[in-house]
Structures are given as C-alpha cells and as structure tokens.
Amino acid sequence: MNAEQREQAEREQARRVLPPAAYPDPVPGRTEARRRHLLSEIDRQTSARSVLRPRRRMVLVLGAAVAAGATVVVLSLGSGTTGAPNVPPASAASVQVLERAALAASATSQTKVVDGQYVYVKTVGHTSVLSENKAGQMELLREDEGMEQWTSVDGSERALQRKAGKDRLLPAAPGSLNAPTYSFLAALPADPHALLKLIRDDAEKNHGAGSDSTTGPDQEAFVTIGDLLRNGVTPPATAAALYRAAALIPGVDVVPDTVDAAGRRGVAVARVHDGERKEWIFDTSTARLLGERTVLLKDSAWGKAGTVVTSVALVSSGIVAEAGQTP
C-alpha cells in the first residue's frame, strides 16, 4: 500500500468512527498545507537527540514505611529508553478528529467571564499506586481521582478542591502551563504554530537534550496540551488552537473505540511512548472532549498489557460566581 492509499484508508477509518461533521471541512488546500508543515516539523524536530520519560509518575508505597509515617518513594513508569528516530507525522485520521474538535470548540458560544468568578470542574476516575502489603508483596491499587474544583479565573484567589467529601484550599497562582487559569488560557496565542512553539520551547528546556529527562519534548508537549484542555472551561479560540497544535506533533494517531472513566464510549486521539498510550477521548457525535486515560501496551510492574493505569473523565464544568457553587 503506497502513501496515498494509506492516507485514504486512514480517512475512511475516521469517517466510520465519526458521523458526518456538523461543521464545514477545511477549505481546499488547507489539509495539504498542513501535511507539508507536519513533514517539515518532523524533519526539524527529530534532528535533535532526546531521551524519553513519561510525565506521569506512579507512587510506590512501602507498607512498613507508611505504618511508621516514613518516606513515600516515587518511581517513574518507563524504562528511560531513547526515542525512536523518524517518528511519522500525525496520521490523517488523527488530524481529521482534531480538526473537528477544533471546529466544535470554535462554534461554542464565548462565555462572558469577569475577575472574581471561578472555573468549576468535576471529574471522576483513578490513578494507580504500587503498595507493599503485609506479606511483603507488591500490589497495584487504584487511587480515586474523583473531585470537584473551583479555580479563580485570574488566579488571584485560592482554589477550592473537594475530594472524598473533604475541602481544602490550594495556593493562589497567576497561571502557567502547569497550573492554568482561564485568564492565562485566554492570553495564549490563537495561532496553532505559535502556540505549539511556546509549549514546545518550554518542553525542550525541561525535557530536551541535556535535561536528564526521559520524556522528551514531543511527548511532553502532547501531555501539556492535554492538561490544558482538561482545565474544564477553555476559551473557544484557545481550545481550537490547542487541538490544531496537537495535530502538528509527530506520532499522534487514532484509537477508533475506547471508553472513559464515566463509561462513555468514544474515539481517541493518542500518542504512544515507552510502552504507554496516552489517549484523549472524544464524543463521536459532538467531538467534545470527554476525558483522558493511559493504557499499558506491554507488561510491567504496573500491570499487564491492556491495563488502564490512569483514567479521568470530565463530567461537569462551567463558570460560577463563587467557590462552592455549581453551574
């Protein structure tokens, strides 16, 4: 199968997964221009050497240490292998799913937001913890990640987090790539190329060659974009730019059928790294982001291949006047 036939097959796969778009397809020539950019991006990005390590960190809890109130050891999931050269550009099917998500985001009404308000988000899901039991054996436990959170739109007030029926206040923060606020997101570039450069420059600094990181800038950029989109309420123009920026990252592909932590089925845009597949799950009808999860593709201490080690679903979000209120 040649490249043209493979691309056509990928497009047919995406059409089977998603219903006819409620939004117009890109103007003629736009897809081809994006393809050319993807090829140039991968040529540029894979010329640099990088060492990969997943951003997600799993917690190893030693039973005796916990009983004594001692140290909790944090381990990174992954073997620290070097990233494979010549990673292909994002597949045509993933670009199509991300473009539909971008168009859906652009069609969303702009919420009027003023200082003093809060972004509300409710999630359900789990992460994984390796713990030593009384017999001295390691067992994989699921830690509940369900919560509600209210974050000040401009970061001037402390955020309120409600988890397992208990409230706690988080420090106020002005907003950053690692802790975004609505105002921070609204100020990001609306051009996907400029946006990806901003995100990737940060990833390169902290996860590029010479950083001792094993994540690598491409995977880190993909994870960062997913974190920003999971904020709950993102300005429409910013959300659209984030989806289009993700389509410029090499190695992005589609998982046609997957399920989120709330049991909702959808199509996923994913990237594989060091034995893990990071998935962003979208509603097949609306192209709305449902949640994300990480799946093991090979056996490890964290489970057998196919184990879902983390899964978080967005179940409610909105803008409210005060912390503690719901939309």
Domain of 167, in residue numbers = 3-320
Whether residue 269 is contained in a domain is answered as: yes
**What pLDDT was estimated at residue 41?**
40
Q: Is the pTM of this model over 0.85?
A: no
Whether residue 327 is contained in a domain is answered as: no
Whether residue 107 is contained in a domain is answered as: yes
Whether residue 308 is contained in a domain is answered as: yes
Whether residue 325 is contained in a domain is answered as: no
Whether residue 294 is contained in a domain is answered as: yes
**What pLDDT was estimated at residue 211?**
65
Number of domains in the chain: 1
**What pLDDT was estimated at residue 261?**
97
Contact partners, residue 231, CB within 8 Å, separation at least 6: 119, 121, 180, 182, 185
Element (H, E) at 131: strand 118-132
Q: Is 320 exposed, middle or buried (0-12, 13-18, 19+ CB in 10 A)?
A: middle
What does the alpha-carbon distance between residue 202 and residue 196 come to, in Å, rounded to a whole number? 10
Whether residue 165 is contained in a domain is answered as: yes
Give the type of residue at 55.
Answer: R
Whether residue 144 is contained in a domain is answered as: yes
Mean pLDDT, consecutive 10-residue stretches, the chain (327 aa), reads 62 58 47 46 34 33 33 32 66 98 93 93 93 81 93 96 95 90 96 96 79 78 94 92 98 97 98 95 97 94 91 96 95
